[in-house]
Amino acid sequence: MASPSNEPPMSELLVSALDAIANGIYRIELVDPNGDNLPEFTPGAHVRIETPSGQMRHYSLCNDPDEQDRYVIAVKREEEGTGGSRSLVDETRVGDRLKVSAPRNDFELTGNPARYIFIAGGIGITPILSMIHHLQATGGKPFKLYYLTREPSQTAFLEELSAPEYRGKVVIHHDHGDPDNSYDLWPVLEQPKGAHIYCCGPRGLMEAVRDMTGHWTPSSVHFEDFGGSQSASTTEDTPFTVRLHKTGEAIPVPAGVSILEALRVNGHHVPYSCESGTCGSCRTRLLEGEAEHRDLVLSEAERQNHIMVCVSRARSKELVIDLAE
């Protein structure tokens, strides 16, 4: 989530529909209580929602951006999470009102590619579905979706994406929990041919895609992750210090605490959104020290003088960074 000073304003929207669309996945439709149009959004956008428990969560909008009368999100009920998704699913009823922000987009369709390659893992289908709706409706550039899930019963929007209009444009693969049955993406990614890739899903999938696209132009490969997973276990973290270049202030970063969290606790506001190293919002200048980069955004050249403070840490005892405050 972005810091309060960078967040779009919140307003109350009415829950007009709530239904299960797969095992543990629920579709929620939100409308204006007075029937007015909602703020416009672009494909890949998300909104921030205050759950009944008071927690803030980000959810991608998965309907066609031309539908100005509603927002549609899909929520995976996480049994082992911190309670936000459980609260939203278990405590919300049709007719309730939820505080919802205006849309924000850190995963936008950009450039002018020859075609789009979409790779979605599990609930990562949500922002990509909005992109597909948009391209289908506008007759935009050709695309192909590779939608990878564990089981058909756990596949959101399975019936919709199996419809005849998506024949030849959508590949749906279920691995049934067997790593040996994973879909081979290398033939898809071997030759760029002017395409842009948009990938959203578990970190393991995104890291695999990043490893297979090292020969692609960095600006043509885009990642998004709302899972909040991290590339390394916090049990492997060691404490270090971040020093602010402008003031000389030294901020301790304990094991298990991100640089972003340490900065916030000490009164420093850094723009952020995904908190998983995939959106680029918290990109910060790195002046001294050796970083342990855990993001999926920065190129090797950019890693020489930048760091994503939401997930990356230090190999040296101290990092010197330059905050744009």
Say if residue 239 is in the same domain as residue 287: yes
- Asked whether residue 119 is assigned to any structural domain, the reply reads yes
Which percentage of the chain shows pLDDT scores above 70?
A: 92
Instruction: Pull the structure tokens for residue 265.
Output: 């606790």
Q: What is the pLDDT of residue 42?
A: 97
Say if residue 134 is in the same domain as residue 90: no
Q: What is the pLDDT of residue 8?
A: 65
More confident residue, 271 or 160: 160
Q: What is the mean pLDDT of the chain?
A: 90
- Asked whether residue 14 is assigned to any structural domain, the reply reads yes
- CATH at 252: 3.10.20.30
Q: What is the pTM of this model?
A: 0.78
- Which residue, 198, 224, 250, sits at the end of a domain? 224
Instruction: Give CA–CA dist 189/185, Å, rounded.
Output: 6
Say if residue 79 is in the same domain as residue 169: no
Q: What is the pLDDT of residue 4?
A: 43
Give the residues across from 150 on adjacent strands.
none
Write out pLDDT tens, residues 61-85.
999 999 999 999 999 998 876 678 9
Q: What is the pLDDT of residue 236?
A: 59
- Which residue, 173, 200, 224, sits at the end of a domain? 224
- Which residue, 224, 248, 276, sits at the end of a domain? 224
Q: What is the pLDDT of residue 6?
A: 52
Alpha helices in the chain (DSSP H): 84-91, 125-138, 158-161, 186-189, 203-212, 259-265
Can you tell me the mean pLDDT for 202-223? 90
- Asked whether residue 45 is assigned to any structural domain, the reply reads yes
Q: What is the pLDDT of residue 228?
A: 44
Instruction: Pull the structure tokens for residue 55.
Output: 């927690």
More confident residue, 80 or 258: 258
Instruction: Give the domain extent around 317.
Output: 234-322
SS3 of residue 21 by DSSP: strand
- Asked whether residue 150 is assigned to any structural domain, the reply reads yes
- Asked whether residue 92 is assigned to any structural domain, the reply reads yes
Write out pLDDT tens, residues 11-57.
999 999 999 999 999 999 999 999 999 999 999 999 989 999 988 88
Q: pLDDT band at 325, cuts 50/70/90?
A: low
- Asked whether residue 37 is assigned to any structural domain, the reply reads yes
Can you tell me the mean pLDDT for 117-126? 95
User: Which residues have C-beta within 8 Å of that of residue 141, sequence separation ≥ 6?
Assistant: 113, 114, 115, 116, 135
3-state secondary structure 274-295: CCCCCCCCCEEEEEECCEECCC
- CATH at 30: 2.40.30.10
